[in-house]
Amino acid sequence: MGHEEEVRQRARAIASSGGIVPALEAGTLPAEVSVSVSEGIVLGLLRQDVRKYFVILGHGNTSLGEILRIYAEEKVVRVYQCRNEVAMAHAATALRWIFGESSVVVASIGPGALQALAGSLACASNGIGVYHIYGDETTHGEGYNMQQVPKRQQNAFARMADILGEAYTLHTPGSLRDMLRRGTLCVHRSVGAGPFYMLLPINVQPKIIAGLNLAALPSRFQPTPAAPVSLTDYDRACELIESHDKIVIKAGGGTRNFPLELRALAAATGGVVVLSPGSLGVIANDDPANMHVGGSKGTISGNFAMENASLAIIVGSRAVCQADCSGTGYLNAGAVLNINAETSDANHYNKTVALTGDIGAVLRKLLLRLDERGLVDLKASTNWRAQCTLQKEHWSELLRERTATVPVRDPAFNTATLTQPAAIRIAAEFAKSVGAVKIFDAGDVQANGFQIVRDEEPSETITESGSSYMGFAVSSLLAGAVADRSRYMIAFTGDGSFLMNPQILVDGIVHGAHAMIVLFDNRRMAAISGLQIAQYGRDFATNDDVQIDFVRFATSFPGVHAIAAGASEQSLNSALASAYEHDGLSVVHVPVYWGEEEKNSLGAYGRWNVGPWVEDVEELYRAQVL
């Protein structure tokens, strides 16, 4: 029997039984097999129910590619050929983030692996677990391998990968089991997950592992929620809450899975909730306790609540510069209650009572203790809520003014256009009407977007604010094409972000994406232009005079439906409806105004330790007691 037929028989046994474990139990798959390292990896990932691969094949992974070919032909795994390593890293991140499915990014060696490594910053920054497999230099040291890191040092690529996540060089075939165990502990953690990089020397991939015990391959890690057990810890938290009547709850991305508990905490404490870009929808938009986003960009009401609270309850949030105004967000807070799963995040601020553990488990125990102590109806209610509600009304009025659909003459297009806030508001309302998930790309589209959207539940909006990676939103549409249970997706992107990863127009066709790109075109990097003007009064090197016909460009890809949006609410809604009705990938081109008028954006209401603001921000930080 030839090697390929042996591989195929194993794949067929797994396919017919519905998995490795059933195949072992049925006796159709031997308990011990002699397989190549490449097949061992595929089998090990199947043991963890990882079946989807985003691939760009090259000389650094020919052995793995051959195994994937056979297993894909037998319908055991699904392989998606891509055209850019950064883009497929984003697609894998979105597949886990939005649809909860683990997958693998497979890149070759050298430039391809570096591209995928760069793209993995998004999953690392947002705590999303993804497997990455890269080819690596041979173990014999016979001389430089083409495209390896040209340095006389062992494990050069592993050292780079270890900075972003966890890396394992499979130097010895027998260490496969250890690599897979470490991998699932990284990728499948409930909190603090991230990329796990399997570095496969190109000469090791085809080597045979003799007598591989399939039953000993590690199964998928299933984390158990944990929380402090001592009542003393919760009583200390309750005492803090009792002693303050101006309470702000900062809900970070870690609260996305616990909206009910977060809303109950707001009700029990009488506090108000301030969101992060990654926690939109954990409390309903019109809930009286919702003060919207707070931070360097923030909102009027969100930043007011942060700056005037006497007690900050931090839940599932890191001390990111944009989330707490470079450490100056809580100017009047004298104490912190921090509920986080990571010890370092839970203890970032001074004067902190830390409850470290699974956020849902901790919140439920805290709520129970508050109830037992009779703290359900606290004094923190009327005056503090009234102050914050007044600021929320100011913010709502500004939002109505800035998102009004009055066309403005744009100097770049030399015609009337919608403002970007107005166009985003219209597109967001359309997305809500059809139940689409909104994904925001980096830049001005993202910054305006998380101030504008009005979500009722988590995950109606995904904004990759962890690393603000340009091109993430459009690349993520591929995830919707490969997910087992897909949702209609709309990518909100700027012209700059779209041009970072336009190959979604090919990948989307090849893999059957049914999704929409709404392209807000102001012919510049508007977020940076605005920052330059705010700081120095002039913009520089953030725009050009190249006029791109995006509709014509997108239409050149067979199967892509592209349409111009016009300059009115009616014409934009008509274009969105036409795009939604298309059975495939659509692009809606929306020219938007950019200029120095305030209606250009929604503004910023916090502080940021950059440029000419540094001295003032650092002076405030020096005086902070937290």
Same domain, 309 and 458: no
Residue 424 to residue 450: CA distance in whole angstroms: 10
422 Cβ contact list (under 8 Å, min separation 6): 402, 403, 404, 405, 406, 569
Which residues of the chain carry a pLDDT beneath 70?
1-2, 375-381
520 closest CA partner among 378, 415, 425: 425
Residue 144: what pLDDT? 86
DSSP3 helix / strand / coil % (the chain, rounded to 5): 45, 20, 40
* Backbone dihedral angles phi then psi of residue 592, each to the nearest 5 degrees: -130, 150
Same domain, 304 and 433: no
Assigned domain for 607 exists: no
DSSP states along 60-79: TSHHHHHHHHHHHHTTSSEE
Assigned domain for 221 exists: no
Same domain, 160 and 56: yes
Same domain, 165 and 282: no
Structural domain ending residue among the three candidates 390, 420, 454: 390
Assigned domain for 375 exists: yes
Residue 376: what pLDDT? 52
572 closest CA partner among 526, 518, 624, 615: 518
Same domain, 378 and 407: no
CATH number at residue 465: 3.40.50.970
Residue 207 to residue 492: CA distance in whole angstroms: 46
Q: Which residues lie across from 340 on neighbouring strands?
A: 356
Spatial contact of 70 and 11, defined as CB atoms under 8 Å apart:
yes
Same domain, 165 and 40: yes
Number of domains in the chain: 3
Same domain, 179 and 38: yes
Assigned domain for 618 exists: no
Same domain, 312 and 212: no
592 Cβ contact list (under 8 Å, min separation 6): 410, 417, 418, 419, 420, 423, 520, 521, 522
Structural domain ending residue among the three candidates 363, 390, 417: 390
CATH number at residue 301: 3.40.50.1220
Assigned domain for 601 exists: no
Structural domain ending residue among the three candidates 183, 216, 249: 216
Residue 380: what pLDDT? 45
Same domain, 50 and 93: yes
Assigned domain for 319 exists: yes
Is 163 strand, coil or helix?
helix
Sort 429 into a burial class: Cβ within 10 Å, 0-12 / 13-18 / 19+.
middle
Is 589 strand, coil or helix?
strand
Same domain, 462 and 538: yes
Assigned domain for 620 exists: no
Same domain, 439 and 473: yes
Assigned domain for 619 exists: no
Q: What are the angstrom distances between the C-alpha of 340 and each of 210, 315, 324, 344, 375?
A: 45, 6, 16, 9, 22
- What is the domain range of residue 124? 3-216
- Output the six-digit token pair for 1: 């029997």
Q: 283-309: per-residue pLDDT in tens?
A: 999 999 999 999 999 999 999 999 999
Same domain, 451 and 572: yes
Is 491 strand, coil or helix?
strand
Q: What are the angstrom distances between the C-alpha of 338 and each of 53, 248, 323?
A: 38, 12, 15
